Chains A and B, each alone.
Chain A
């Protein structure tokens, strides 16, 4: 065949080469591409037997990738190891052509072609056609690799966007759930999916209960030991309250096997673990805030009850000027004062201070008020009443709670004062002539001891122009920002210099004096005072 004739025939075949390239390029897999290529060769040369083999780089073994098994393993000897494309033709053998084609991914394609159907030999045109077809396959394979690479890059890019999006979504979802189990499940599912882990585990260890462990696994039903004993795993832990929480991820998946986790996987895991940790911390703080709010509500209720216990106004005593005040330092205080009209011109003035403040103190104040309302209806001696109150308060309160208590029953006609001071601070009787008598405690506070110790009382006479001043320690012990106390001295000085004021003015200006002294410092104790003046 002359050259012109050969070129003409090849020119006719150009279109079929292009079609061949298109068919090969549509292949989704390498195997599919080889299968199509064998069809093209078979059709071009009318071949009955054709076999294909593949060998990876650095692999000495050819793997048969034909649908058909080779009839004789010795056929493999026809394949030539070569780093360059090689086509060998044999005469009078079962195999007529042996092809080795190095591929762009450093692997090798081997093809063995049997005799033609009509037993004719491969012509020059056939040989050139085969050479061109191999180049077509090589180009199609390069194009296939490029497409795979391009798809891989797009996939990788989308996967990174997905990671970022999942992290944001997970963060939002984790902060939204207040049921812990849902929180753990979401975190476990998301981190498994984000890192391509085949399974994952969440471990909770309670330290105070002998390291009792609880496990949650994903997928559900996977044995914890399978994950914990895995060689390919990463973990991330954090502590909250009494517990240690640990995420463990096992075996990162690839398309065909498993591999080690990457630094990015560890970062993603740490990030999710941190989000769960923050969520648990927020839940804890939220609960604390709710409890505080509940306590504040209870304190408000107690305060409103206490406001009803304390007198709205004091009785008017003919021939006397009486005023009193109570300013609690918290919602509910531990100070108490009142003046009961006992009839027949007799009045009981009471001031008391419970050790401590808050609801506990308010309950004792309430008990004292109820008892006084009951006992004062009967004409029993004050010392005996003090003993009864002592027993009652002792039974009603814990050992560290007691009440300092002062009571004076005034006979407004005679000015006689029947007094019992149970552990309260001194009460001052300022005489008209400016002299001052100090009525010290003559018994322990109510509820402090129950040894049957007697309370001693005393009788005094309040003459016209005399003043009786009762107070709790919130006045002399009021503090300023420098932690200095208002002091007994300052209070007595105030009493001496302001005693001519009306009782109401005296109380108001005393409170102002104490508050001016304290300045911006928070009120540290309840302030209670009573001023009784005989006109």
Chain B
């Protein structure tokens, strides 16, 4: 079961990889936006959601904010290690119209 939200990040040139853990809610979404905003010039954000199994609408609205910012600078967001429930949720909310998905971080880094 999910714990409260945590994240770790790694920068690979202009690609930022954020790995999350726990409930992606308002607080979780805000932490992701803050982490993304710390790194100017990032053109690709890889979000590894392996340890996040639950997301709510407010968390999704923060993800949309990140996607819009990336799209503005011709960047892109790639989700990886998606739980089937979260994948279906993102699909219904239309996130994959503006963001990509990949099985693993490694495959997302190669693309």
Q: Residues on A close to B: CB < 8 A? A: 26, 28, 154-155, 158-159, 161-162, 165-166, 169, 185, 188-189, 192-194, 196-198, 216, 218-222, 253-255
Task: Tell whether A222 pairs with B61 under 8 Å between CB atoms, given A161-B92, A198-B26.
Answer: no
Interface presence of B85 (CB below 8 A): yes
* Contact across chains for A196 and B88 when beta carbons are under 8 A apart: no
* Contact across chains for B4 and A253 when beta carbons are under 8 A apart: no
A42 to chain B, nearest CB (A): 22
In the complex, which of the residues B22, B64, B92 contacts A219, with contact meaning CB atoms closer than 8 Å?
B22
Q: Which residues of A contact B68 (CB under 8 A)?
A: 28
| Total A-B pairs, Cβ < 8 A | 73
Taken residue by residue from 65 to 92, chain B's Cβ proximity to chain A (1 for < 8 Å, 0 otherwise) reads as 1001100100000000000010011001
Q: Residues on B close to A: CB < 8 A? A: 1-5, 22-23, 25-27, 53-58, 61, 64-65, 68-69, 72, 85, 88-89, 92-94
* Contact across chains for B25 and A159 when beta carbons are under 8 A apart: no
Least CB separation from A194: chain B residue? B56
Q: How far is the CA of A158 from the CA of B96 in the complex (A)?
A: 13
Task: Tell whether A218 pairs with B1 under 8 Å between CB atoms, given A28-B68, A162-B93.
Answer: yes
Least CB separation from A166: chain B residue? B89
* Contact across chains for A255 and B1 when beta carbons are under 8 A apart: no
B88 to chain A, nearest CB (A): 7
B21 to chain A, nearest CB (A): 10
Task: Tell whether A218 pairs with B93 under 8 Å between CB atoms, given A28-B69, A198-B26, A253-B25.
Answer: no
11 residue pairs A–B, Cβ–Cβ below 8 Å: A154-B94, A155-B61, A155-B93, A158-B92, A162-B89, A185-B1, A192-B56, A196-B57, A219-B4, A220-B1, A221-B3
Task: Tell whether A255 pairs with B94 under 8 Å between CB atoms, given A219-B4, A219-B23.
Answer: no
* Contact across chains for A193 and B58 when beta carbons are under 8 A apart: no
Q: Which residues of B contact A28 (CB under 8 A)?
A: 65, 68-69, 72
Q: How far is the CA of A314 from the CA of B58 in the complex (A)?
A: 84
Q: Which residues of B contact A198 (CB under 8 A)?
A: 25-27
A160 to chain B, nearest CB (A): 10
* Contact across chains for B3 and A254 when beta carbons are under 8 A apart: no
Q: Which residues of B contact A254 (CB under 8 A)?
A: 26, 58
In the complex, which of the residues A158, A196, A218 contacts B2, with contact meaning CB atoms closer than 8 Å?
A218
Least CB separation from B55: chain A residue? A193
* Contact across chains for B23 and A253 when beta carbons are under 8 A apart: no
* Contact across chains for B1 and A189 when beta carbons are under 8 A apart: yes
B109 to chain A, nearest CB (A): 27
Q: Which residues of A contact B89 (CB under 8 A)?
A: 162, 166
Q: How far is the CA of A189 from the CA of B26 in the complex (A)?
A: 15
Least CB separation from A217: chain B residue? B1
A187 to chain B, nearest CB (A): 12
B3 to chain A, nearest CB (A): 5
In the complex, which of the residues B4, B56, B65, B69 contacts A196, with contact meaning CB atoms closer than 8 Å?
B56
Q: How far is the CA of A219 from the CA of B51 in the complex (A)?
A: 13
* Contact across chains for B53 and A165 when beta carbons are under 8 A apart: no
Task: Tell whether A196 pairs with B25 under 8 Å between CB atoms, given A219-B1, A221-B3.
Answer: yes
* Contact across chains for A219 and B94 when beta carbons are under 8 A apart: no
Task: Tell whether A222 pairs with B26 under 8 Å between CB atoms, given A158-B94, A193-B55.
Answer: no
Q: How far is the CA of A193 from the CA of B23 in the complex (A)?
A: 9
* Contact across chains for B92 and A255 when beta carbons are under 8 A apart: no
B37 to chain A, nearest CB (A): 12
* Contact across chains for A26 and B72 when beta carbons are under 8 A apart: yes
B96 to chain A, nearest CB (A): 12
In the complex, which of the residues A158, A185, A193 contacts B56, with contact meaning CB atoms closer than 8 Å?
A193
Q: How far is the CA of A155 from the CA of B27 in the complex (A)?
A: 19
Q: How far is the CA of A196 from the CA of B3 in the complex (A)?
A: 16
Q: How far is the CA of A26 from the CA of B72 in the complex (A)?
A: 8
B82 to chain A, nearest CB (A): 15
Q: How far is the CA of A47 from the CA of B88 in the complex (A)?
A: 51
Q: How far is the CA of A26 from the CA of B23 in the complex (A)?
A: 31
B91 to chain A, nearest CB (A): 10
Q: How far is the CA of A254 from the CA of B26 in the complex (A)?
A: 7
Q: Which residues of B contact A253 (CB under 8 A)?
A: 25-26, 56, 58
